[in-house]
Structure 1
Amino acid sequence: MTVLGAVFRPQLPPERLRGIARTADEAGLDELWLWEDCFLESGIASASAALAWTERLRVGVGLLPVPLRNVALTAMEAATLHRLFPGRAVLGVGHGVQDWMAQTGSRVESPVTLLREHLLALRALLAGERVTTEGRYVKLDAVALDWPPPTVPAPPAVFAGATGPRTMRLTGEAADGTILTGGTTPDEVRRSRQLIAEGRESAGRTGHHPVVVYLHTATGPGGAERLRAELDATGLPHGVAGPAAAVAEAVQALVEAGADTVVLQPTPDEPDPEGFIRFTAAEVSPLVPRTE
């Protein structure tokens, strides 16, 4: 079933989150997504607050940069969220922006190796296992969570962000879902699906692997100009500006290419963040087919 979400961009001050999360909950938005971008806002602290302020809204964090995080701490925080708010948290991890990682002294020589080790250990810990591992970067000695999350019908999913082919294959191999960045075109979603499938096949994994895609979106007066400025600044090729019908068409194109969740990403200078949430939930969502 197609899931539609929207981003609370961390360029907004943290104190804006409460009103936007409540607006999303009241408007019937499927999911609100948060980022742990350096050096703006914490993904876990923000997610915990947004979940506590709302009743039904699912909250995603896409993504937590693993160079900044010991995997045991990530597992503890994830397990706490999943126990406090069952079925409402979606967490993703990733390489992080390498320049930012260098600024914090946490950049590693092999980001792919670190992400693989982190994913394998994190998923095992969230499955209730006791983990001992001596990897290149991840080292654990008989670590197990005292309060693991519910594992029935399955442990909570761990998503991973990906751009390049190696990481795309890795998400198929070692993650439970993949997050694709804003600017991803439908053709790139199809190619990503192929790479993810290759990774899953190499690991002998079966079943559905959900894909989340961010979509640069602008609407209302000046929307096209704001979108063009952001795409020009980031060098990304793909986004949509216009009324609900145009946005829904762009969402559907990504869904047909293989996306399960499309998350509308407003421009950093969106003049009405609450209005953008209501636009997504009340105007775009009814135009997006929700069939399996």
Structure 2
Amino acid sequence: MRIGIHIPPTIPPERLRSLATAAERSGLDELWVWEDSFKQSGVASATAALAWTDRIRVGISLLPAPLRNPVLTAMEFATVERMFPGRFVAGIGHGVQEWMGQAGVRAASPLTLLREQVTAIRDLLAGEEVTASGRYVNLDRVRLDWPPSPPPPLMVGGSGPRSVALAAEIGDGNLLTNALTDDEVRALAGAVIVARKQAGRTDADRPEVAAAQIVATGADAQQRLDRELPLWGGRPGAGIGVAGDAAAVAAAADRYASYGITSYGVQPTADEPDLEGFIAFLGRQVKPLLS
């Protein structure tokens, strides 16, 4: 299992360079950036982080499909992958519907939109000529001039049962939300395997599943975690997130691995006083404890 840092949109974009280089120095495997409305651009953030580093994988968790044209998204993904081959992980989802409504792009059927977008983007990244006549995606003989070979992994996000099943069917992996109990993570990881088998995926038993946990450490860790959880739909005292030392975080990561999680992301609290130190703690104290 890979371990990485998630840079939430509560952190201003100008902090990213220092955090990305700290993640690389610390030995973490991955760094994930977000595209939450109406905050940072996921593609811009990922590209900058890749340019500032040499080794670490950089993923987007995730782009809201309603805000984007699939051709433009495929062009962006292809460009980033060709510039930084093998280190980029693309991510897309149907977005938070309230925010999509604010932006004037709310879809009547978010899952239909997501299916059509992901299908078109995957085919374009594979170098195919795409013609589509769907409810939301309509393309006429579109082919990328610079498709990447191979294309980057295309992770698909969602937490509801239908979203998880769709992501397992059409994506290269599933992105889970960050405020789940252990039982919920275990159940969702199992649901991914079932959905992939039902879809006839040849790799059904070996799904890529990325999940994040909100983590706080230090003397006031529990209080900071309890303040953070409601911001992400979590309830204090429900067994969500981790407050503790390196051993506690490593134990949580190992539990996630036992459920089938292949990428364990750690999200700091918005009030984390030393983000660079927190990243160093993950790479130098937590990672060596992982079994």
Instruction: State the one-letter code of the partner of 2:152.
Output: P
SS in 1 for 2:62: strand
Shift of 1:233: 4.2
Residues in 1 aligned to 2:218 and 2:277: alpha-carbon distance in whole angstroms: 10
Deviations 1:70-107 (A, max 9, x none): 00011000001110001111111001111111110011
Residues in 1 aligned to 2:115 and 2:141: alpha-carbon distance in whole angstroms: 19
Does the Cα contact within 8 Å between 1:212 and 1:263 map onto a contact in 2?
Answer: yes
Residues in 2 aligned to 1:17 and 1:137: alpha-carbon distance in whole angstroms: 34
Does the Cα contact within 8 Å between 2:179 and 2:232 map onto a contact in 1?
Answer: no
* Deviates most, 40-49 or 234-243: 234-243
Residues in 2 aligned to 1:234 and 1:8: alpha-carbon distance in whole angstroms: 14
Residues in 2 aligned to 1:116 and 1:183: alpha-carbon distance in whole angstroms: 25
1:194 is the counterpart of 2:194 = no
For structure 2, the 5+ residue unaligned runs are none
SS in 1 for 2:61: strand
Aligned length: 285
- Relative distance call for 1:202 and 1:284 in structure 2 (3 A) is same
SS in 2 for 1:74: helix
Partner of 1:253: 255
Does the Cα contact within 8 Å between 2:16 and 2:49 map onto a contact in 1?
Answer: yes
C-alpha RMSD of matched pairs (Å)? 1.2
Does the Cα contact within 8 Å between 1:169 and 1:195 map onto a contact in 2?
Answer: yes
- TM (normalized to structure 1)? 0.95
For structure 1, the 5+ residue unaligned runs are none
- TM (normalized to structure 2)? 0.95
Residues in 2 aligned to 1:227 and 1:67: alpha-carbon distance in whole angstroms: 32
Deviations 1:211-235 (A, max 9, x none): 0001110012322111011124444
Partner of 1:19: 18
Residues in 1 aligned to 2:72 and 2:287: alpha-carbon distance in whole angstroms: 36
Residues in 2 aligned to 1:23 and 1:197: alpha-carbon distance in whole angstroms: 35
Partner of 1:32: 31
Shift of 1:157: 1.5
Alignment of 1:80-229 (within 5 A): 80-151=79-150, 155-207=151-203, 208-229=206-227
Partner of 1:281: 283
Does the Cα contact within 8 Å between 1:27 and 1:281 map onto a contact in 2?
Answer: yes
* Deviates most, 124-133 or 231-240: 231-240
Instruction: State the one-letter code of the partner of 1:239.
Output: G
SS in 2 for 1:227: helix
Does the Cα contact within 8 Å between 2:167 and 2:174 map onto a contact in 1?
Answer: yes
Residues in 2 aligned to 1:76 and 1:13: alpha-carbon distance in whole angstroms: 26
Partner of 2:3: 4
Deviations 1:3-30 (A, max 9, x none): 0001112222211111111111111111
Identity %: 53
Instruction: State the one-letter code of the partner of 1:192.
Output: L
* Deviates most, 219-228 or 200-209: 200-209
TM superposition outliers: structure 1 runs of 4+ over 3 Å:
232-235
